[in-house]
Every structure is written in structure tokens, then in C-alpha cells.
Amino acid sequence: MSTPHNSANPGDFAKTVLMPGDPLRAQFIAEQFLTEPRLVNRVRGINGYTGTWKGVPVSVMASGMGMPSIGIYSHELYNFYGVENIIRVGTAGGMSMRCKLRDVVLGIGACTNSNYAAGFGITGHFAPTADYTLLRCAADIAQKNGLHVEVGNLLSSDNFYDDDPHAKDVWQKMGVLAVEMEAAALYMNAARAGKRALAICTISDHLLTGEATDAQTRQTSFCDMMRLALDVAAEMANV
């Protein structure tokens, strides 16, 4: 059964899907880490692949940029393809000195300036949070492997270019670690579907220090985050 945005057949996707924003990062993960990856979707250039990692079926498919985009793809994966877990593997801009360039952040929650929750008929304020099982699993694996991770709030923003130069200040004073553009929508879709979600992000640039990585580096070199997400996917095969 295909959807307007996905040509995959039933059973083509594994129980757990890694979702980077960039289609080229999805291709990189599939080709560099998965055993015998096969292309299961290529609608609109959003390539999806399924292979195995440590003997466990795992899929990877791009989400595109922004909450409307990941909202579409995660909704279809959860509701039409039987996917149980989606792990966002993305980049984020550091907003706290707790985070350094290339640090890995686990998003326990996702603050947002988006009105995405209104689509669910919510009249109050919904708090988008990660699934605890995925979060705990990721933190435990990171500790076991000696990988330093920061755990805390992300900001999922609708704006990459903000007209207000001080827009980030209010989030910084509330202890938000980093800003990205997808996690809140993913967490809300997971909550609505009764499924699991986690955002694992690498700090690709820093709003306070001005440090930044280039596009090629973001596409192919944040392997600590990728391996961590894959190891979580392997562990979730038994959950």
C-alpha cells in the first residue's frame, strides 16, 4: 500500500526507522552502516532504505526540513507502515555552553514556537517529550561505549532566519540546549499514534561561540550519533 509520499510496500520498513533531515545523510547511513541495504522509497527524492545492523532489520529515511515535512513522513510511517520507533538523527545549533561543537544531545523534550499542536484540536499547551524507553536505552548505550551525551530540552523552531536577533534569549535563559526544526512534530505524532520517538542531534554550529561545520561535514561525519541510533534500534528489536 503506497501513500501520497511513499511508494514502499507493506513490510518494507523495519520496526525502527532512523530519520535524518537530509536525503544524502540517509543514503550515507544506509551505504556505510547497513548490511545489504535496499531502496524502498524514492518519492520526491526522499529515499528510504532497509537493511540490517548487527543482524537486526533497520530502516533509514529522510524527513526533509521542518515540522510540516517530518510531520507527513512520520505520520505515514507510524500509521500506514507499522513502524513502532522513529529516531531522528539530525543537526542542531548549540544554545548552551553545556554543549560544544560535535557534542551529541538527546532531546528529552522539545519546546517549540510552532502551532503544530493545533492540528490535534489541543486548546491548551501540549508538552512534546521523547519516549522514555528509547531515551533510557540511548543514554545507557552511550555510557557503556564511553560516549559523552547531553540530555535536555531542544527548541523546535519554525524559523531558521529570525527577524528578531534576540529571539533565542528567552529559550537560553530557560536552559534549552539546542535549536533544531523537527523534534516537536515527531514527538507529537508519536504521542497521537501511541508509538515511540527520540531525537538524537549533533551540534553542528553554536549560536554563542559562532563555531560551525560545513555542509559536507554535516552530511557524512557525525558518525557517533549514527552508531548510537543504530545500536538503539538493535536493542529495540527485543522490546
Express as a percent the part of the chain with pLDDT over 70: 98
User: Cell triple for residue 21?
Assistant: 533531515
Per residue in 70-117, pLDDT (tens digit) is: 999 999 999 999 999 999 999 999 999 999 999 999 999 999 999 999
Residue 154 contacts residue 178 (beta carbons within 8 Å): yes
Taking Cα atoms as reference points, which of 226, 179, 223 lies closest to residue 200? 226
Determine the Cα–Cα distance for residues 143 and 203; give it in Å rounded to an integer.
Answer: 19
Fold of 16-238: Rossmann fold (3.40.50)
Domain ranges of the chain: 16-238
Determine the Cα–Cα distance for residues 175 and 96; give it in Å rounded to an integer.
Answer: 7
Q: Where are the alpha helices (DSSP H) in 153-182?
A: 169-173
What pLDDT is attached to residue 221? 61
Tell me if residue 205 is catalytic: yes
Backbone φ and ψ of 123, nearest 5°: -95, -15
Q: Which of 22, 103, 131, 205 is catalytic?
A: 205
Place of cell 533509514: 60
